[in-house]
């Protein structure tokens, strides 16, 4: 495709839009036991070192029974047990390792209270659950019995209260007040093999147990999916849950739900490794925005809940997390510069959506961490690949972390407007847009990008963007400009790896060369610019896709 015509981005520093809500400061993953592996703890420390505030960390399976050894999309906290007389007792050994790793990295848990321990699976569940023995399935429990409602809600409540009390004793009430406690995961699909009414009752006893252990604790749910197509009922389930809480006055401190940008069809292709995609497909930021808008509207329909934080605690460009380029070549975007630019764009659009909705997004969680034993750049939805190499998407969060606390007004000649959210387009067309902030003292920061949802868009050149920053909020005749970039040549470990021939067993020198390119890189040397009439102008070339972080700091 031909590049966009010359574009202009104008930042008005006198247009203060209020505090910047840092909605990107959370991530999550399925495999809870990888949290405390050596690789997991190193990964947590990497995130903690650049995080501008403690990120929330969410994972599945804290209540699942098992040996504490994760596989992709599986894990076990193994907390709950019963003696021969049916009396509950608890083992917090795995929970301690998991939450210790999170807290020691300077982060904080979002505790997903799920799923059903083996001892609480209903007695008739196995008779109601279709299961064919297979060497790839350990038992009916791992295959799905964990998704049945617990047979004894009183024992479940005791388990919830015991976990909260244990965490308060271990980490202190002041710290645990900053955690979030959430019931279950995606109860509108196969994760919950009960009725909505059974879920509502379980929420009531769960919220009461959390509050009994720590009255100031924040508890919420229901972690529903978006409406992904025929047979899906995420918004219907969400509306029913909210109606229940409104009617019963059950404690509700936040509302959580999910969105996904694509479900590639087919998910998995059986053929030669590295073969082409069966048909070219891409994530859709428009699909995600439509799903989030529908959920926000459901929350805003209840006056009591309009001011509550809404947590999109799986906010992902595609599902599933653990399949990659060898399953379907469309997952290639997860390795490249496309993904970090998509994430930056999405965060800005979610902020815009919140401004015009009756409820607001407080967190938008990437379901990404790392996978044990994968090949280099497997294409899984992850922040790290083999040997702890940081993928380009991690640099999006480094950029976002450097934004200031006050949002500024931005106008772009080629931004995609939210007014077009109901257009028939499946994905967002190419745009140039920006998010700008002020730190309250001496620095204006502009995050600007060129992106299209179509990951196969062919760029034949760069677009020159004129950046005008007007009515600077500090007195200066000259400013220092620092300019970081993520694109096909900058801040891109994947490009460095492919440039070396894509080795799956890189030498020490090759691995060192890859890791030298994994962090956030400057696009150009630092330079000084003159300020005229309180404004400065810079011309910046943008390939497709790319994102720049431009920091403008006053000089004495």
Strand extents, DSSP E, 413-535: 431-438, 443-451, 463-470, 478-486, 521-522, 527-530
Give the pLDDT band of residue 1 (cuts 50, 70, 90).
very low
Residue 481 lies in a domain: yes
Residue 143 has pLDDT above 50, yes or no: yes
In terms of domains, do 130 and 222 share one? Answer: yes
Residue 233, pLDDT > 80, answer no
Distance CA 188, CA 142 (A): 20
Burial of 385 (0-12, 13-18, 19+ CB in 10 A): buried
- Give percent of the chain above pLDDT 70: 98
Check whether 396 has a pLDDT greater than 70: yes
Provide CB contacts within 8 A for 509, sequence distance 6+.
none
Look at residues 372, 401, 430 and tell me which one is the last residue of a structural domain.
Answer: 401
Q: How confident is the model at residue 229 (pLDDT cuts 50, 70, 90)?
A: low
pLDDT band for 137, please (50, 70, 90 cuts): confident
Q: What is the pLDDT of residue 4?
A: 76
In this structure, are 148 and 260 located in the same domain?
yes
Strand 108-113 with 88-90, pairing: unpaired
- Mark which of 401, 419, 448 sits at the end of a domain: 401
* Same domain flag for 228 and 284: yes
What is the domain extent for residue 483?
7-15+404-554
> Residue 216 falls within a domain, yes or no?
yes
Q: Show the beta-strand stretches assigned E in 20-79.
A: 26-29, 56-59
Report pTM.
0.97
- Which of the 8 DSSP states describes residue 165? H
Q: How many CB atoms lie within 10 A of CB 520?
A: 21
414 and 300 co-located in one domain = no
| 356 and 435 part of one domain | no
Taking 80 as the threshold, does the pLDDT of residue 2 lie above it? no
65-105 pLDDT, tens digit each? 999 998 999 999 999 999 999 999 999 999 999 999 999 99
Assigned domain for 211 exists: yes
- Do 390 and 419 belong together in one domain? no
| 182 & 87 share domain | yes
User: Is 205 a domain residue?
Assistant: yes
Q: Do the beta carbons of residue 470 and residue 13 sit within 8 Å?
A: yes
The residue out of 362, 386, 401 marking a domain boundary is 401
**What phi-psi label fits residue 509: left (phi over 0), alpha (psi between -120 and 50 degrees) or beta?**
alpha
Residues with Cβ within 8 Å of 331's Cβ and at least 6 positions away in sequence, in order, are 264, 318, 323, 324, 325, 379, 380
Position 39 confidence tier, pLDDT thresholds 50, 70, 90: very high
Average pLDDT on 401-406 reads 98
Same domain, 47 and 69: yes
320 with 442, same domain: the answer is no
pLDDT in tens, 271-325: 898 889 999 999 999 999 999 999 999 999 999 999 999 999 999 999 999 999 9
Query: Are both 456 and 542 inside the same structural domain?
Result: yes
Cα three-residue angle 414-424-448, rounded to 5 degrees: 25
How many other C-beta atoms can be found within 10 angstroms of the C-beta atom of residue 102?
25
Tens-digit pLDDT profile for residues 416-456? 999 999 998 899 999 999 999 999 999 999 999 999 999 99
Task: Say if residue 366 is in the same domain as residue 458.
Answer: no
State how many domains the chain has: 2
pLDDT score at 231? 54
CB of 367 within 8 A of CB of 314?
yes
Distance between CA 98 and CA 348 in Å, rounded? 32
Report which DSSP code applies to 6: P
pLDDT of residue 174: 98
Would you list the DSSP string of 328-350? -GGGGGGTSTHHHHHHHHHHHHH
**Local confidence band at 178 (pLDDT 50, 70, 90 cut-offs):** very high
Q: Round the average pLDDT of the chain to a whole number and report it.
A: 96
Question: 425 and 383 in one domain?
Answer: no
């Amino acid at each position: 495709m031909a590049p966009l015509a010359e574009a202009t981005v104008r930042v008005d520093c006198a247009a203060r839009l209020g505090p910047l809500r840092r909605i990107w400061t959370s991530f999550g993953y399925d495999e809870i036991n990888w949290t405390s592996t050596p690789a997991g703890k190193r990964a947590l420390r990497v995130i903690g070192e650049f995080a501008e505030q403690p990120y929330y960390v969410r994972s599945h399976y804290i209540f699942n029974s098992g040996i504490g050894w994760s596989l992709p999309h599986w894990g076990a906290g193994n907390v709950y047990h019963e003696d021969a007389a049916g009396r509950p007792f608890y083992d917090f050994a795995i929970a301690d390792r998991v939450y210790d790793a999170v807290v020691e990295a300077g982060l904080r848990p979002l505790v997903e209270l799920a799923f059903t321990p083996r001892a609480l699976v209903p007695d008739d569940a196995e008779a109601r659950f279709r299961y064919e023995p297979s060497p790839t399935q350990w038992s009916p429990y791992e295959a799905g019995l964990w998704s049945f409602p617990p047979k004894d809600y009183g024992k479940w409540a005791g388990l919830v209260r015991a976990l909260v009390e244990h965490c308060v004793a271990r980490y202190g009430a002041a710290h645990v007040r900053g955690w979030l406690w959430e019931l279950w995961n995606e109860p509108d699909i196969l994760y919950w093999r009960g009725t909505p009414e059974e879920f509502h009752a379980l929420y009531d006893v769960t919220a009461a147990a959390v509050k009994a252990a720590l009255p100031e604790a924040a508890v919420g749910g229901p972690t529903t999916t978006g409406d992904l197509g025929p047979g899906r009922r995420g918004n219907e389930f969400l509306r029913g849950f909210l109606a229940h809480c409104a009617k019963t006055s059950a404690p509700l401190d936040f509302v959580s739900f999910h969105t996904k940008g694509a479900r590639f069809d087919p998910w998995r292709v059986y053929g030669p490794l590295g073969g082409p995609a069966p048909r070219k497909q891409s994530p859709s930021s428009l699909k995600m925005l439509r799903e989030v808008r529908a959920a926000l509207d459901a929350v805003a329909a209840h006056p009591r809940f309009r001011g509550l934080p809404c947590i999109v605690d799986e906010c992902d460009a595609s599902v599933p997390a653990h399949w990659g380029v060898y399953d379907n070549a469309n997952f290639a975007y997860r390795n490249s510069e496309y993904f970090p630019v998509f994430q930056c764009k999405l965060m800005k659009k979610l902020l815009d959506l919140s401004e015009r909705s009756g409820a607001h997004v407080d967190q938008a969680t990437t379901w990404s961490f790392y996978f044990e034993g994968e090949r280099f750049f497997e294409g899984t939805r992850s922040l790290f690949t083999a040997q702890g190499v940081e993928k380009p998407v991690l640099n999006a969060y480094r950029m976002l972390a450097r934004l200031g606390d006050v949002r500024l007004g931005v106008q772009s000649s080629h931004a995609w407007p939210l007014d077009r959210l109901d257009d028939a387009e499946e994905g967002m067309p190419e745009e140039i847009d920006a998010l700008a902030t002020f730190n309250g003292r001496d620095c204006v920061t502009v995050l600007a990008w060129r992106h299209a949802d179509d990951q196969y868009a062919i760029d034949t050149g760069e677009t020159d963007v004129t950046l005008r920053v007007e009515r600077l909020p500090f007195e200066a005749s000259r400013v220092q400009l620092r300019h970081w970039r993520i694109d096909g040549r900058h801040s891109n470990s994947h490009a460095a790896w492919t440039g070396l021939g894509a080795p799956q067993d890189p030498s020490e020198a090759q691995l060192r060369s890859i890791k030298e390119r994994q962090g956030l890189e400057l696009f150009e040397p630092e330079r000084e610019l003159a300020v005229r009439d309180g404004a400065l102008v810079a011309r910046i070339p943008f390939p497709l896709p790319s994102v720049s972080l431009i920091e403008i700091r006053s000089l004495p």
